[in-house]
Structure 1
Amino acid sequence: MFDTNTATQHLPRFSDILINSVESGALIGHIIPVNIAAVASYWEDVVASIGAGERVLMCATIDSEIAGTVQLYLSRETNAPHRGEVYKLIVHQQFRNRGIGEALMKAVEVEARKHARTLLLLDAVQDGEAERLSRRLGWQEIGVVPRHFVDPWGGFKSSVYMMRCLDS
């Protein structure tokens, strides 16, 4: 877990991982050509959200280099203190296929339990790596939204909403 100070120190690396992922085809809120200022602003907003206690940022490192990240948004709604949302599971392309995504998703569950979150939600591109990983880890499909995203090159993609109930 990264607090605001540690996260701030690593803002350039977070931007690098996000840009690398978009340029590799990931659907994570940005398109090609990547707007570098928008990516930097996004990560600054994430740090502010960490400071406000709304979000937890987890990172995986290999040889002291950040290889991937994932975020757990802690619902602030008074009628949903049990709910968390998984945001932006991103692994730098040079570190993919080493189990980092799975490790980060398992870390999300551990952190969710620490915050008394028993229902987790996420959305992923239909038929993408994140959907396959989530299904393998026991997540259940809630539904599909057709043409929900555009990929980095502007093509429409559908999203799959998924949930996971954790033991209380």
Structure 2
Amino acid sequence: MDSACPDSRRHAGDGGAAVTVRVLSGTQAHAAVPGLTDVLLDCVAGGASVSFMAPLDRATAEGFWRSVVAGVERGERILLVAEDREGVLGTVQLVVGQPPNQPHRADLSKMLVHRRGRRRGIGAALMQAAEEAARAAGKTLLVLDTASPDAERLYTRAGWVKVGVIPNFALWPEGGFCDTAFFYKALG
């Protein structure tokens, strides 16, 4: 499914390297699976609590992205990527397929930025593009959860409201419990 969100935006990273953030169609998402897999593998190897345990193998990561692509094709998800000359730097999803009593809501999911793209504004650019895509899809409320203090700072700067923390909600990739913070943002 192609989204009504603008196709792309340029964001200048460190050194002036151009980064493009765009919404992917199902066909484009299929083609992006190798790059998306690399980002997921890097994030898990770097200790991110994003639903997977270490060591994460490539086949499992690719299988995850194929299921995401199927959701894009069914219109249940909107998949965004940030790319530079070297390929995919980051990604985020909007889960727009919600129950009948929540048609106004979407979940922001799997905000991932490869370590080579961190501290370059990639996360902020992905968040802004995701919010625009959510508005274009008619969503007025977004929710997310995170175990990352860095991500918490990003979300707070972007106007998200922290509603609480659940202790021991998930596991770190190497084991051990981690707390998870929950946020929401009303879109105007």
| TM-score in same-fold range (> 0.5) | yes
Q: How does 1:1-168 map to 2 (within 5 A)?
A: 1-63=23-85, 65-125=87-147, 128-167=149-188
Deviation at 1:35, TM superposition (A): 3.0
How high is the TM-score relative to the length of structure 1?
Answer: 0.95
Deviation at 1:3, TM superposition (A): 1.0
Amino acid at match of 1:44: R
How high is the TM-score relative to the length of structure 2?
Answer: 0.85
Alignment partners' CA distance in 2, 1:44 and 1:61? 19
Deviation at 1:64, TM superposition (A): 5.6
Percent identity at matched positions? 37
Matched pairs, number: 166
Alignment partners' CA distance in 2, 1:14 and 1:99? 18
Gap change, CA 1:64 and 1:24, over 3 Å in 2? closer
Amino acid at match of 2:38: D
Amino acid at match of 2:140: T
Deviation at 1:37, TM superposition (A): 2.1
Alignment partners' CA distance in 2, 1:163 and 1:46? 22
Alignment partners' CA distance in 1, 2:137 and 2:32? 25
Amino acid at match of 2:183: M
Gaps of 5+ in 2: 1-22
Q: 1:112-139: CA deviations, max 9, x gaps?
A: 10011010000001x5211111011111
Flag as ranges the 4+ runs of structure 1 deviating above 6 A. none
Gap change, CA 1:4 and 1:25, over 3 Å in 2? same
2:5 alignment partner in structure 1? none
Amino acid at match of 1:87: S
Alignment partners' CA distance in 1, 2:142 and 2:164? 15
Alignment partners' CA distance in 1, 2:133 and 2:118? 23
CA contact under 8 A between 2:75 and 2:97: conserved in structure 1? no
Amino acid at match of 2:170: F
Alignment partners' CA distance in 2, 1:166 and 1:72? 14
Amino acid at match of 1:148: F
Gaps of 5+ in 1: none
Q: 1:49-84: CA deviations, max 9, x gaps?
A: 000000000111112611110001103311111001
Deviation at 1:89, TM superposition (A): 0.6
CA contact under 8 A between 2:106 and 2:142: conserved in structure 1? yes
